[in-house]
Amino acid sequence: MHIPDGYLGPVTYGGLWAAMVSVWFYASRKIRTSLRIAEIPMIALSAAFSFVIMMFNIPVPGGTTGHATGAILIAILIGPWPAVIAVSIALVIQALMFGDGGITAIGANCFNMAFGGMVSGYGLYRLIAGKRREAQGSEEIQNSKFKIQNSFGARNITGAAIGAYAGINIAALLTALELGIQPLMHTGIDGRPLYSPFPLTVTVPVIMIGHAVFFGVLEAIVTVLVLVYLKKSHPELIRG
């Protein structure tokens, strides 16, 4: 889903840059008020995990790639707004140091994967799993390991799988729409597209089929396996 440079016009990537700056600002404020100091290193670890899992990408016709993101898993572990920052950090490093995704398209890639798809998938997870009360006192926090083991059950696992599958497909759909509208927005005097040349009739089916059939399933499997492992070994790490 990494969009390279030259595939989005300035109206599209500029608008998504502006949107993500607002999202990053809001997310940073939420982190300062809701994230415990001891949990801050989890943002760096989550960014590293997302970075690694997104490096295993497969080219998809239309100028982009398909891969897992780990965004919903990270949101379940550290919360949705820290997840926005963690996945965004991974995407920025990939663009600046490895050329995986364009620099002008950083805002678009972050909007699709770190925000749009993640928030949608996490919201679906919360809808299915229901709410869990956070531990407050020191004694309650020490006993939270056993409480989470009992409270994080089949509904949570099911919600995580469905949310992960839906989240990555929503991110893919946003990518397909952004690429597909470029021929409608930017054409030369001879009528040829100036940026992405593929219309919606090409980008939507080509990108969505791969994610619906393969990458979404992979995302759901990775999310469930990690959560099942953490529930048994380190349930205190499951925050969301």
Q: What is the dihedral of CA 222, 224, 131, 44, to 10 degrees?
A: -40
Give the chain's domain count. Answer: 1
Give a yes or no: residue 1 inside a domain: no
**What's the mean pLDDT in 125-129?**
94
**Of all helices (H) and strands (E), which one includes residue 181?**
none
Torsion of CA 73, 75, 78, 83, to 10 degrees: 110
Contacts of residue 90, defined as CB under 8 A and 6 or more positions apart, other chains included, come to 47, 48, 50, 51, 54
Q: What is the mean pLDDT of residues 71-87?
A: 95
Write down the pLDDT at residue 201.
94
Q: 158, 171, 160: which is closest to 211 by C-alpha?
A: 171
75, part of any domain: yes
pTM (2 d.p.): 0.87
Report if residue 90 sits inside a domain: yes
β-bridge partners, 64: 60
Assess if residue 230 is contained within a domain. Answer: yes
**Section 152-180 average pLDDT:** 94
Determine the structural domain holding residue 60 and report its residue range: 10-237
The CATH number linked to 123 is 1.10.1760.20
221, pLDDT greater than 80: yes
Segment 190-211 mean pLDDT: 92
Region 153-158: mean pLDDT is 90
Task: Establish if 100 belongs to a structural domain.
Answer: yes
Which residues, at least 6 apart from 190, have a Cβ–Cβ distance to it below 8 Å? none
